[in-house]
Amino acid sequence: MSAVSGASRPQSPSALRKGFARLLRSRELGVFVPLLLISIFFAYQSPVFLTEQNLLNLLRQISLLGVMAIGATFVLIASEVDLSVGSVYGLSGIVTGLLITSGVSDYAALGAILVLGFLIGTANGLVTVYGRIPSFIATLGSLYLIRGLTLVITGGQPVTLEFDANADFLRYIAQGIVFGKVSMQVVILAVAAIIGYVLLHRSRFGFEIFAVGGNEKAAQVIGIRTGKVKILAFGIASLTGALCGAVNFGFIESVQPTNGQGLELDVIAAVIIGGTRLGGGQGSILGTLLGVLLIGVLRNGLVLLGVSAFWQTATIGAVVILAALASATLNRKRA
Amino acid sequence: MTPAIHLKNIGKRYGNLWVLRHADFRVDPGTAHALLGENGAGKSTLIKIIAGVHAPSEGTIQIGEADNVSLADAGDAMARGIAVVHQELDLFDNLTVAENIALDSHRKGFFKPARAQMVAEATRVLALLGETSLTPDTPLGQLTTSDKQKVAIAKALGRDAKLIVFDEPTSSLNGHDADQLMELILQIKARSIAIVYVSHKMTEIMRIADQVTVLRDGAVALCAPVTDIDHTQISTAMLGRPAGEIFPERPSAPTDGELALSVKGLAGRNVAGVDFEARKGEVLALAGRPDSGSSETLRLLFGLNAQSAGTISLAGAPYRVRNSRDAVEAGVGYIAADRLREGIMPLQDVLTNVGSVIHLHFGEGGESLRTKSLKAIADLNVKARSPDLPITALSGGNQQKALLARWIAAKPKLLLLDDPTRGVDVGAKQEIYRLIRKLAAGGTTVIYTSSETHELTELADRILLFRDGSIVETFSTVDAETLDHRIAS
């Protein structure tokens, strides 16, 4: 919620002090400080880290993770979880490729895949809400179901974007460069962050997500349609998965049907590191962005230092645990 | 005068079962109407009809000038100026005070209100309560129950509520906070707002109510101005007969019996140095407000709360209790007030629930375990179609009897019961009273707490009154009205 305070301009010294006090209390600080420290460490250790080229590259690398993490933030704050987003990402790349290969325009393919993504999320939500089963189970099921269908559709073979395929728009949003150096993927992340921020922190729908995640029964009593809110949150999460799968296809131009396996865990890790409470009710877009950035900086910096990929994975694991411990300790102190 | 609300000849039926029938309930602006009744008497049904949650099966509702109103849902009732301050407070710990006040499902538009606007609104409505110490930006989770309640009331006032229903508002407040709340309700009344006050605490009712309605078995058993009636009339109306007839005969208290329990300087959370003794076969009641230390004393004796000081001896031997296992093995039993979370094993059947203590702690198993458990079930008259049904299939009263059976099977020396009749119907209550007496006659010492004053005065041999973690008074005989005053003061 402190993201709100950051945006409003303090009018007087006392408002400034209050704003600063809110900033100090904010959950985002818990991820911002480690992010800063780790960045300083890498800056000292590697002359490459702070170069414009490296930072732009780093941002490009985390963009799609960031977009999906924004989607997952909605679901996690609503006190649910979506494990299927990696499978949706995989399916989306494959279907986009197949549609374009079969002559569908890239605009139409993108449109179709976004609708499909949203519908899959809606289905996850419907099963969770009306089937009254934990979303962990419902989306674990769709994780396998969607991945299996992806393998069935492709027969296990990769799908490639033909060199002469008519996919200029897709190539542009995936590979394009703006302002001479910024990847379009970063622009997509920025747009997603703005939309996510407005939806989560400024709209009535976002307000209701926090209410549902904080106390579902009370939300029902005051007349919030909690099922609808949750289904929409699932829809948003899957939509971001589908978008990113398509963009990734446009970027690497050839995807395996197994693409994106385990991605859902990276997404959840980033959101949790960013201070969103797994039990729901707390979190922010700013925090999620910082969480994604922390993961990106860690990976990038460890590569620059020549640390093996195996150790990178272990380090991220340790950071997840530390972040969870830090936020649990903070919460206890506040209580 | 135009009533704030008038339910006329209201009835509610589920299938063929009428839970409320021919009920007339009227509240005028600026007055408080107390609503009383045992569990299952129809109280919550009546409130849900007022709140728009349930539609009545018969009868009509008048709200202000408008007659024959049908409330579509809770939101509709809210829009007509009816607010309910529920016992469990429908608020959000993860949101700030201002956000809690602003959150409203009937707001239109895409955006939520800006923070500054929410803060201004919160400041305005809190000021209506004369409340200036609460900061609108504070997360609600950091507030005390009493402050949360103020937020809920402020929210109602902010919506221009004409009628506010308080559902057992003091049940989780300490004496000081309850007192403040009473003052607040009197203030609200003075603003010509109508109050429905659900409580069974006579002192509170006498202090704030103008009119009293008692429901029993879904019908109005008593409706009178508060000035025309007394304690005895109310309890007789609630129970359907004089309270004395509900409770079993008390044999003369065993004043010279063997000492069963001796507690010296016992301290722990909410308990600050408690001394008392109990004899074999004695029934001892611990009275006091929530947080006064009475319930916590039971938890200390059963090893559920950590003991910071004091010595206890049980049947002459030192009793060191680090955890509940020590307690059970020393012959102590305990039933918690929160039956669902600390009592039953909800996924297990009745037989397993009843047999758990003798199985886990006294090595019973096989046929012997089954026989003993079945005997306890029969002895306690637990009404279950089959002992293999999940315990949650039973009524509250029968669940409680099953929990008692669990301990009876273990033949405890000392049985600790924290509000044993909570959420239990009158019939089961009576059985529980008789059982307590029967156990005492067999030599078991029973120590219990209760939120109903009559259960303290009519059942116990002695009453220890707790306040702020210590025993401030002991009674052997006392009438309910006096005890009520002593608890509240």
Nearest CA in chain A to B107: A204
CB contact B388 to A (< 8 Å) = no
* Predicted local distance difference test score (pLDDT) of residue B177: 83
Distance from CA of B144 to the nearest CA of A (A): 10
Residues 6 or more apart in contact with residue B434 via CB below 8 angstroms: B248
Q: Which residues pair with B225 in a beta bridge?
A: B211
Q: Could you give the CA distance from residue A123 to residue A88 in angstroms, rounded to a whole number?
A: 12
Record: fold of A50-333: ABC transporter involved in vitamin B12 uptake, BtuC (1.10.3470)
CB contact B92 to A (< 8 Å) = yes
Q: Could you give the CA distance from residue A211 to residue A280 in angstroms, rounded to a whole number?
A: 9
Q: Could you give the CA distance from residue A44 to residue A49 in angstroms, rounded to a whole number?
A: 9
Contacts of A18 in chain B (CB under 8 A): 137
- Contact yes or no for A215 and B90 at CB 8 A: yes
Structural domain boundaries in chain B: 5-243, 259-488
* Predicted local distance difference test score (pLDDT) of residue A24: 63
* Predicted local distance difference test score (pLDDT) of residue B250: 81
Contacts of B105 in chain A (CB under 8 A): 208, 222-225
**Do the domains B259-488 and B5-243 match in fold?**
yes
Which of B86, B90, B115 shows the shortest C-beta gap to A4? B115
- Contact yes or no for B92 and A211 at CB 8 A: yes
Residue B418 near residue B337, CB atoms below 8 Å: yes
> Kind and range of the H or E element at B59?
strand B58-63
Which of B86, B104, B111 shows the shortest C-beta gap to A203? B111
At A13, is the pLDDT very low, low, confident or very high (cuts 50, 70, 90)? low
Name the token pair of B386.
């089959």
* Predicted local distance difference test score (pLDDT) of residue A17: 73
- Contact yes or no for B111 and A202 at CB 8 A: yes
Contacts of A214 in chain B (CB under 8 A): 92-95
Contacts of A217 in chain B (CB under 8 A): 90
Distance from CA of B234 to the nearest CA of A (A): 32
Predicted confidence (pLDDT) at residue A6 exceeds the cutoff of 70: no
Q: Could you give the CA distance from residue B114 to residue B103 in angstroms, rounded to a whole number?
A: 12
Residue numbers of chain B with a pLDDT score lower than 70: 105-106, 253-255
Distance from CA of A70 to the nearest CA of B (A): 19
Nearest CA in chain A to B104: A222
Q: Which of B118, B37, B26, B44 lies closest to B84 in space, CA to CA?
A: B44
Nearest CA in chain B to A1: B95
* Predicted local distance difference test score (pLDDT) of residue A10: 42
Residues 6 or more apart in contact with residue B7 via CB below 8 angstroms: B23, B24, B25, B26, B46, B49, B50, B56, B59, B60, B61
What mean pLDDT value characterizes chain A?
Answer: 90
Residues 6 or more apart in contact with residue A132 via CB below 8 angstroms: none
Distance from CA of B434 to the nearest CA of A (A): 38
Instruction: Compute how many other C-beta atoms are within 10 angstroms of the C-beta atom of residue A307.
Output: 15
Which of B106, B112, B139 shows the shortest C-beta gap to A207? B112
Question: Which listed CATH number (3.90.1150.10, 3.40.190.10, 3.30.43.10, 3.40.50.300) goes with B259-488?
Answer: 3.40.50.300
Which of A4, A282, A335 shows the shortest C-beta gap to B94? A282
Contacts of A335 in chain B (CB under 8 A): 141-142
* Predicted local distance difference test score (pLDDT) of residue B254: 62
ipTM of predicted complex:
0.84
Of A3-12, A25-34, A46-55, B49-58, the range with the lowest mean pLDDT is A3-12
Q: Which of A276, A321, A266, A274 lies closest to A293 in space, CA to CA?
A: A274
Which of A1, A206, A215 shows the shortest C-beta gap to B96? A1
CB contact A4 to B (< 8 Å) = yes
Predicted confidence (pLDDT) at residue A163 exceeds the cutoff of 90: no
* Predicted local distance difference test score (pLDDT) of residue A4: 40
Question: Which three-class secondary structure state does DSSP give residue B90?
Answer: coil
What is B5-243's CATH number?
Answer: 3.40.50.300
Instruction: Summarize the confidence of residues A271-293 as an average pLDDT.
Output: 91
Q: What percent of chain A has pLDDT over 90?
A: 72
Contacts of A334 in chain B (CB under 8 A): 139, 141-142
Where do we find the tokens 């949101």?
B95
Contacts of A281 in chain B (CB under 8 A): 92-94
* Predicted local distance difference test score (pLDDT) of residue B178: 84
Q: Could you give the CA distance from residue A121 to residue A242 in angstroms, rounded to a whole number?
A: 10
Name the token pair of B205.
């009712």
Nearest CA in chain B to A201: B112
Residue A229 near residue A129, CB atoms below 8 Å: no
Q: Which of B76, B97, B103 to mutate to test the interface with A (most CBs of A within 10 A)?
A: B103
